[in-house]
Each structure stands twice: as structure tokens, then as C-alpha cells.
Structure 1
Amino acid sequence: MIVLVNRFLLRKKFAGVALWPFLIIKEPSLKADAVFMNHERIHLRQQAELLVLFFYLWYVIEYAIRLLQYRNYYAAYRNISFEREAYAKEEVILYLQKRPFWGF
């Protein structure tokens, strides 16, 4: 994982984004936030499992489906299977050590 700090690459509401093998964050202080970093590490593992390209393809397609389903950008985002796993397990710091393959 390579952590880059750049507040100009991210939209207003996003603190960070995992783009394998990079983690782009807005503020250097986020490196010390264990829950935030765990959330993003979960995404990096998901991306590696799906050979990166398939992760992004699946993510975009599922987001479009959820957007049609919920008709709300935030609800669609929160209900993507990758996000559901990351938010549900972000506080379990040792989660990645016991996470099953394709745990999303």
C-alpha cells in the first residue's frame, strides 16, 4: 500500500480512496485513524482478489444498479457489496487476518 496525500484529487465529501496499490487521502492525519485505514485496506484486498480491473467494473455496474434501485446517490453507494463489507468490518482492526476469500 502506497499512501499519497492530495486534497485536490478527491471530491468534497470523500476523505480517501483506494486505487490499488495506492491509497489517496486528503489529510496526513488520516494515516493515524485506524478505523479509516482499515476500511481502505479492506478495499485494497477486495481489489487484489478481483484482479483490480474486475473490481472497478463490478463496482461501477453495482453502483448503477443500486442507483436505479434506491434513486439516491448516497444510498446506492452505501449498498454496494464492497462498501457494505468495508463499513461493517472497519472497526474490526484484525479483520483482514481472518477475512474469507471474496468476503464481500
Structure 2
Amino acid sequence: MILISKYLVPKGYTGIALFPFIVLRQSRMKHDPVLINHEKIHLRQQLELLIIPFFIWYGLEFLIKYLKYRNWRMAYSNISFEREAYAQEMDLKYLEQRRFWEFRIYL
């Protein structure tokens, strides 16, 4: 389900996946298939890790990357979950081909 809220999406970002929702900053963004695919990849990742562990892992990995790079954007873009989503967002059939629990490390 896609929700529109400029208050739930952090500034500088267009959308966020919070299982089972995709929250977008603007309603026109729900027609962007690449963005929706990117967020659906995150929903699958969240489901596979049983939601709460996903957010713990995501937060810890972000913290480690931030300490390493000392740069918010670099830390964010080097999180393994983001690397998978960005690498596969253009492939709109990716989630059909990706088996459940097929964990890929994008380091």
C-alpha cells in the first residue's frame, strides 16, 4: 500500500519503506516504477529479516559506515540493503526472479 506524507519521509529522500507500506513525499511519485521497485525491494528485505531485525541491522550498518566515511550520504549509499536496491531498481522483474531468502551481500 502506498501512502503520501511529506512528514514521514526524511528531508532529502523521496520515499521510505515501512512494512507493509511505501511512504512517498509526493503523490506524483507513485507513478515512478523505478522508485516503487526500489521501495518494494526494501519491503522484501524487511519481510525476510522479520521486520524489526531489518531495522536494527540497517541502523547498525549505517552507524558503522558513518563512522568509517564521516559522511551521511556515503554511509547511506553503502548500506548493503541500499546497494542491493539501487543495483536492481531498474530491473522491474527482479523481485519475480529473486527467490525468497536469497540473501545477496552487496558490500
Asked if Structure 1 and Structure 2 have the same fold, meaning a TM-score greater than 0.5 normalized by the shorter chain, the answer is yes
Structure 2 CA distance for aligned equivalents of residues 9 and 19 of structure 1: 10
- The amino acid of 1:20's aligned partner reads F
Task: Pick which of 41-50 and 26-35 moved more.
Answer: 26-35
Deviations 1:41-94 (A, max 9, x none): 000000000000110010000001101111111000000000000000000000
Q: After TM superposition, which residue ranges in structure 1, 4 or more long, deviate above 6 angstroms?
A: none
Structure 1 CA distance for aligned equivalents of residues 29 and 104 of structure 2: 25
Would you say 1:56 and 2:83 are equivalent positions?
no
- Mark the runs of 5 or more structure 2 residues left unpaired by the alignment: none
Match of 1:15 in 2: 14
Match of 2:85 in 1: 86
Shift of 1:11: 2.2
Match of 1:34 in 2: 33
Match of 1:71 in 2: 70
The TM-score, its normalising length taken from structure 2, stands at 0.92
Structure 2 CA distance for aligned equivalents of residues 83 and 70 of structure 1: 16
SS in 2 for 1:13: coil
The TM-score, its normalising length taken from structure 1, stands at 0.94
Number of positions where the alignment pairs a residue of Structure 1 with one of Structure 2: 103
SS in 1 for 2:16: strand
Percent of aligned pairs with the same residue? 47
Task: Pick which of 81-90 and 91-100 moved more.
Answer: 91-100
SS in 1 for 2:103: coil
Match of 2:104 in 1: 103
Structure 1 CA distance for aligned equivalents of residues 54 and 81 of structure 2: 9
Shift of 1:10: 1.9
